[in-house]
Amino acid sequence: MSPLRLQGFIFIALALTATVFSLLLAPMAAPYEWLLAFGLIVLLGVPHGALDPLFAQALLKLNSRTAWLGFVALYLLLAAWVVVLWWYLPLVFLIVFLAVSILHFSGDLAAGATFSERLVYGGAVVVLPALWHAAELTRLFSQLVGLSAAVPVVAALQFVALPWLLALLLLVLRSCRRDGLLAMEIMAVGSLTLTATPLLCFAIYFCTMHSPRHILRTQLYAGVAPRRMALVAVLPLLAVLVLSVLGWYLLPPSSTDERMLKLLFVTLAALTLPHMVLVERVRFSGWQRPAVASSMPP
């Protein structure tokens, strides 16, 4: 069995387990849910983006210190632009962040899927929590961008949630004819988004589907050993840690939960834009690797 298919089975098992617990047990107390989600995302979710130097090396042919410094400067500039957008135009920030997340998550679906199928799959993670968890979603979005921006966005998600669910069910039925594992993956995404609380749903999907699948594809694309990938990721992860600590102290005073939410999701949004500029080019090429430069950052 290929590593990607094994990872798919693991995600299905964890998603269905979370579904059962969500149906049988009361929601986790907010502080514990936050600690669990924050820990999962930081330890298992964020590191996949730290592999971007591998894509930069292959796509941009960065072979000198000056070239790498220019790449890092542009990467940070794009990330800073997202933070500025959140600060001054929170409604636009939220809409763009959700739209970009749908596009990015659509890439997790197995090769051979059409654009519409990918759109339905990627959008399920963002749209379907609004079907039965609209109040909780409104609370989370309000902490991130304010109530006036959160309410119309959640209302729009509620409006399209039921048609989106029907489209996802049709996608499951179509996928059964091609690949049973693919159909089970899509079904697991649907059950997770409908039953788990929005924060827990995102953490489980992000950390057990999106991040590990990206890491596995990166290893296949770059052709490097896991130890090499870990070494490549160390410096970007340290940089994110330093910037996050700085961001924590620069955020306006508020409750711990709200500050953690803002720090976590604004950081994710800021890193997603430059990350996608690199990764989506590879995905749309079918993960075909160009001639790779021979040196990593000095």
What predicted TM-score, i.e. pTM, was given to this entire model?
A: 0.91
Phi, psi of 28 (to 5 degrees): -65, 145
Q: Say if CB 246 and CB 80 are below 8 A apart.
A: no
* pLDDT at 262 exceeding the cut of 60: yes
Q: Say if CB 4 and CB 217 are below 8 A apart.
A: yes
User: What is the pLDDT averaged over residues 148-158?
Assistant: 97
Residue 289 within any structural domain of the chain: no
DSSP string of 131-199, one letter each residue: HH-HHHHHHHHHHHH-HHHHHHHHHHHHHHHHHHHHHHHHHHHHHHHH-HHHHHHHHHHHHHHHHS-HH
Mean pLDDT in the chain?
89
Residue 98 within any structural domain of the chain: yes
The per-residue pLDDT for 236 is: 86
User: What is the pLDDT averaged over residues 244-266?
Assistant: 85
Give the separation between CA 95 and CA 100, rounded to whole angstroms.
9
Residue 33 within any structural domain of the chain: no
* pLDDT at 162 exceeding the cut of 90: yes
Residue 57 within any structural domain of the chain: yes
Q: Say if CB 186 and CB 121 are below 8 A apart.
A: yes
Percentage of residues in the chain having pLDDT higher than 70: 95
Q: Say if CB 91 and CB 267 are below 8 A apart.
A: no
Q: Which residues constitute the domain of residue 230?
A: 3-24+50-284
Strand intervals (E) in 165-292: none
pLDDT tier at 285, thresholds 50, 70, 90: low
Phi, psi of 133 (to 5 degrees): -130, 35
Q: What is the pLDDT of residues 104-146, one digit of tens each?
A: 999 998 777 888 899 999 999 999 999 999 999 999 999 999 9
Q: What is the pLDDT of residues 45-74, one digit of tens each?
A: 888 888 898 888 878 888 888 999 999 999
The per-residue pLDDT for 131 is: 95
- Tell me the CA distances in angstroms from 254 to 25, 89, 257, 260, one per residue in order: 30, 20, 8, 10
Copy the structure tokens of residue 150: 């959160």
Residue 83 within any structural domain of the chain: yes
Q: Say if CB 197 and CB 128 are below 8 A apart.
A: no
The per-residue pLDDT for 242 is: 86
Give the separation between CA 109 and CA 283, rounded to whole angstroms.
11
Structural domains in the chain (count)? 1
Residue 16 within any structural domain of the chain: yes
Residue 298 within any structural domain of the chain: no
- Tell me the CA distances in angstroms from 243 to 47, 90, 235, one per residue in order: 15, 21, 12
- Tell me the CA distances in angstroms from 96 to 74, 102, 272, one per residue in order: 20, 10, 11
Q: Say if CB 123 and CB 151 are below 8 A apart.
A: no
Residue 195 within any structural domain of the chain: yes
